[in-house]
């Protein structure tokens, strides 16, 4: 596989077409990159190119996101449990036996379900603006919290504000070190997928299900303490959704976790993918994953 090149593929998983990006040599250590809301594997394009000389990288789109199938709510159960089940089957279909797990936003609850169920699979965790601690929940999440606790016409209206272009742009630009480095194509592309007919129902279903993640926090913390996975946190420190307090909290249960906060927001890779790639390479090499 040509160094620095991305390949765009699909694979059938239980009747769904799962789209994924691939880079690097399959003989090298694998990194599985799990995206967040409202994005897709597209968010990893630059990072994958810059890690492809040393690692084999795979980044899938979840059902309902990006280029993957987007079945209706009657055809697919949009819960974090089910997204994790689909990605587990994706991992097995690709024959991955060992991997480092990169998680951003929704990638956290999807990936931590997988890691805690299959600890033997995990070589390292790389956390970027993904949360596993109550102290990491920012005030900007208040409308979603209200919708989770009491789904109603009124709370849904507020939750729907997260599906607008204004909110999508805000997630990219708020907290950025220099918002002139944020490519507008990124949030415009995400909004294109959000605006597809029926996609609002998919996203609202996942909003409502997000509370299931809180119930698993203690289980994940127990996994951290028992298995002490090699862990790197490279979150954007200015994120108002998943805050810096949640990033540093990983050290409560993983004493050797490396916390390397970057000066950016929720989508910090937009500005700092080169710095992130360098930190990741050094971390994994220090852990003997090379």
Q: How far apart are CA 149 and CA 104, in angstroms?
A: 24
Give the per-residue pLDDT at 25: 96
Q: How far apart are CA 287 and CA 290, in angstroms?
A: 8
Q: Are 133 and 143 in contact (CB under 8 A)?
A: no
Which conformational region is residue 286 in: left (phi greater than 0), alpha (psi within -120 to 50 degrees), or beta? Answer: alpha
Q: Is 272 a catalytic residue?
A: no
Distances (CA, A) of 237 to 90, 157, 241, 262, 265: 31, 29, 11, 6, 6
Total-model pTM: 0.97
Give the per-residue pLDDT at 5: 87
Taking the alpha carbons at both ends of the chain, their separation in whole angstroms is 18
The architecture that CATH gives domain 7-286 is 3-Layer(aba) Sandwich (3.40)
Tens of pLDDT, residue by residue, the chain (290 residues): 556 789 999 999 999 999 999 999 999 999 999 999 999 999 999 999 999 999 999 999 999 999 999 999 999 999 999 999 999 999 999 999 999 999 999 999 999 999 999 999 999 999 999 999 999 999 999 999 999 999 999 999 999 999 999 999 999 999 999 999 999 999 999 999 999 999 999 999 999 999 999 999 999 999 999 999 999 999 999 999 999 999 999 999 999 999 999 999 999 999 999 999 999 999 999 999 98
Q: Which residues contact 136 (CB under 8 A, 6 or more apart)?
A: 242, 243, 245, 246, 247, 249
The one catalytic residue in 35, 221, 227, 266 is: 266
Give the per-residue pLDDT at 44: 98
């Amino acid at each position: 596989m040509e160094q620095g090149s991305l390949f765009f593929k699909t694979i059938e998983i239980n009747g769904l077409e799962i789209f994924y990006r691939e880079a690097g040599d399959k003989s090298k250590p694998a990194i599985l990159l799990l995206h967040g809301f409202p994005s897709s594997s597209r968010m990893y394009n630059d990072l994958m190119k810059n890690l492809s000389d040393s690692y084999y990288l795979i980044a899938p789109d979840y059902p309902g996101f990006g280029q993957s199938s987007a079945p209706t709510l009657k055809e697919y159960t949009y819960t974090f449990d089910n997204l994790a089940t689909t990605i587990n089957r994706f991992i097995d279909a690709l024959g991955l036996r060992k991997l480092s797990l990169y998680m951003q936003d929704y990638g956290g609850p999807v990936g931590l379900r997988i890691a805690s169920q299959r600890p033997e699979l995990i070589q390292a965790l790389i956390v970027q603006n993904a949360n596993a601690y109550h102290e990491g929940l920012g005030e900007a999440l208040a409308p979603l919290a209200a919708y989770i606790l009491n789904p109603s016409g009124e709370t849904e209206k507020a939750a729907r504000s997260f599906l607008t272009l204004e909110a999508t742009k805000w997630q990219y630009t708020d907290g950025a070190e220099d918002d002139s480095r944020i490519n507008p194509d990124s949030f415009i592309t995400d909004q294109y997928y959000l605006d597809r007919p029926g996609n609002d129902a998919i996203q609202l279903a996942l909003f409502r299900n997000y509370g299931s993640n809180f119930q698993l926090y203690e289980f994940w913390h127990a996994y951290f303490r028992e298995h002490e996975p090699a862990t790197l946190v490279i979150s954007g420190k200015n994120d108002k959704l998943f805050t810096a307090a949640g990033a540093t909290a990983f050290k409560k249960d993983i004493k050797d976790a490396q916390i390397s906060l970057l000066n950016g927001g929720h989508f910090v890779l937009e500005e700092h993918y080169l710095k992130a790639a360098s930190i990741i390479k050094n971390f994994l090499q220090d852990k003997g994953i090379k």
